[in-house]
Amino acid sequence: MNLLHRTVGRALRAVALLAAIGPMAAAFADYPQRPVRMIVGLQAGASTDALARQIARKLSERLGPPFLVENKPGAATRIGMEAVAHAPADGYTLGVANAVTANFSMMFDNFGFVPGRDFTPIAILGRAPSYLAVRATLPAKNVQEFVAYAKANSSKLTFGHGGTGSNPHLSALTLARSLGVQGIEVPCKGNPPSAVGLAGGEVDFAMLDYPSVRPLVERGSVRLLAVAEPKRVALTPDVPTSGEQGLTREIDGMTPWFMLVAPPGTPAPVVALLNQQVNEVLKAPDVQQTLLGLGIEPEPGTAGQAQTYFIQQRERMERLAREHKVSLKSN
């Protein structure tokens, strides 16, 4: 982007902010004027990291100063999210929260990560739909056969999951409950190891996101029976939804998701600008293609919708954890 193009772009953004938000926007019309760091609470190479780097690259191209991804892994993303919560509320520190982040209130006594208090939502970046996946050697080629097998083998039916209280764990428990079967859970260290256990015949089924299981599906060692969404998804248009096949709708949308957030108190004009820019980035065909390659469906929307979604997901997971008597705390 040349200097003239960048100058014109900033002028247009200033006009848009003034029109949308009013006089307060004038003080932030030149944002950003220096590099912006985007904190990811996971290691480089994770899906959250890959998504963040794609969004950061596009925001850098559109806004001028670089958006730099900074990895702060540890404590189920808490280290990274605490860094966001305690950063200056000036728009120069952002973070990428995910489904694990919403479970902080169940994991830690002194850090719940509450919208408005600990962070400001900017935009939902995307969701990674989950699937009912079974080992290829299971005598079930469709949902009806799976249900029959599960009920006939209730005492020995096994399922894998990537961690206690995680979306795949609670989703599998909810599915088993709806079928009236107990199921034996096999905890793994993340979704990819859970998928490997499935392919190796160590477990019968798992609720998995597409990136974790795709190579094994293509290899023929794992079979996808349903996508746990209200409607079919672009990633796998030929895979019917769980609801289409008579499974409980309680598991719909219980899946990994990603959200751009800022420190609490970040000025509204900055949030508005970033939300607008992120939504435009998510609508770009090349970005959509990249995200779909990561197994992520873009989810453009408002900052208010992002906050509502975060709260709804937290309440949902807390309720399911109570119902299934699952505790995420060590004591």
Residues 48 and 200: their CA atoms lie apart, in Å, by: 26
**pLDDT per residue over 56-88, tens digit each?**
999 999 999 999 999 999 988 999 999 999 999
Average pLDDT over residues 120-138: 96
Quick check: helix, strand or coil at residue 126? strand
**pLDDT per residue over 295-329, tens digit each?**
899 999 999 999 999 999 999 999 999 999 987 76
Average pLDDT over residues 11-35: 65
| H-state helical runs in 126-250 | 143-152, 167-179, 191-199, 210-219
Task: State the DSSP code for 297.
Answer: E
**pLDDT per residue over 153-168, tens digit each?**
998 999 998 888 888 8
- pLDDT class of 150 with cuts at 50, 70, 90: very high
pTM for this model (two decimals)? 0.86
Give pLDDT, residue 107. Answer: 81
What percent of the chain clears pLDDT 90, i.e. is strictly above it? 69
Percent helix, strand, coil in the chain (nearest 5)?
Answer: 45, 20, 35
Task: State the DSSP code for 70.
Answer: E
- Is residue 68 within 8 A of residue 92, CB to CB? The reply is no
Chain centre distance of CA 309: 11
Give pLDDT, residue 331. Answer: 45
Mean per-residue pLDDT over the chain, rounded: 89
Q: In the chain, count H helices and then E strands.
A: 11, 11
Q: Which of 135, 131, 88 is nearest to 225 (CA)?
A: 131
DSSP letters spanning 237-283: TTSPBTGGGT--GGGTT-S-EEEEEE-TT--HHHHHHHHHHHHHHHH
- Is residue 292 within 8 A of residue 159, CB to CB? The reply is no
